[in-house]
Structures are given as structure tokens and as C-alpha cells.
């Protein structure tokens, strides 16, 4: 094996140092990109959480709301039934 000279060792050292610096810059860029994506994700999750809260408030019915809707739907079905009976038979008998 031929002997290595000082210049070859210096070139190899410079190459390793430059490679290390490029890797450091690449990792810094990757870290910045990851932080940017995390920030966007946090914003989207916050928006989604707000929308879910709004939907929860809209769909929260409660006991009396349920009873009220059941009464309204029951009356509506009863009126439709009387209308159909009147349409086919001409009279409404209770």
C-alpha cells in the first residue's frame, strides 16, 4: 500500500468536515420542516376541535328536547293519518 501524504490526509479531513456540515444543515432543515408541519397540524386540530364542540352543542338535545320533538312528530303523524283517512273514506271518525 502506498504511503499517504499530508495533503491527502488534509483533503480527506476537509471532506469529512464538509460532509458533517452538510449533514448538520440537512438535519436543521428537516427539523424546521417538522416544526412547521407540527404547527400546521396543531392549528388544524384546534379548528377541528372547535367544529366538534359546535356540532356537540347543536346536537345536544336533553330530556325535554327529546320529549318536545317526540310530541311534535306524534302530532304530525296523527294529522297525516287523519288526512289519509279523510282522503280515502271522506270522513274522519275517532
The single residue listed with the C-alpha cell 476537509 is 14
- Taking the CB of residue 82, how many other CB atoms lie within 10 A of it? 13
- Cα 54 to chain centroid distance, Å, stands at 14
**pLDDT tier for residue 78 given thresholds of 50, 70 and 90:** very high
Q: Is residue 39 packed enough to be buried (19+ CB in 10 Å), middle (13-18) or exposed (0-12)?
A: exposed
Q: What share of the chain has pLDDT > 70, as a percent?
A: 97
- Taking the CB of residue 85, how many other CB atoms lie within 10 A of it? 13
Is the model's pLDDT at 51 over the cut of 80? yes
Is the model's pTM score more than 0.75? Answer: no
Section 35-48 average pLDDT? 93
Is the model's pLDDT at 58 over the cut of 90? no
How many angstroms separate the CA atoms of 37 and 29, rounded? 12
Amino acid at each position: 500500500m502506498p504511503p499517504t501524504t499530508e495533503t491527502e490526509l488534509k483533503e480527506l479531513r476537509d471532506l469529512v468536515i464538509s460532509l458533517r456540515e452538510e449533514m448538520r444543515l440537512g438535519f436543521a432543515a428537516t427539523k424546521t420542516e417538522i416544526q412547521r408541519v407540527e404547527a400546521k397540524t396543531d392549528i388544524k386540530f384546534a379548528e377541528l376541535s372547535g367544529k366538534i364542540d359546535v356540532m356537540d352543542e347543536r346536537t345536544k338535545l336533553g330530556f325535554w328536547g327529546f320529549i318536545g320533538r317526540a310530541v311534535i312528530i306524534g302530532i304530525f303523524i296523527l294529522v297525516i293519518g287523519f288526512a289519509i283517512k279523510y282522503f280515502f273514506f271522506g270522513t274522519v271518525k275517532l
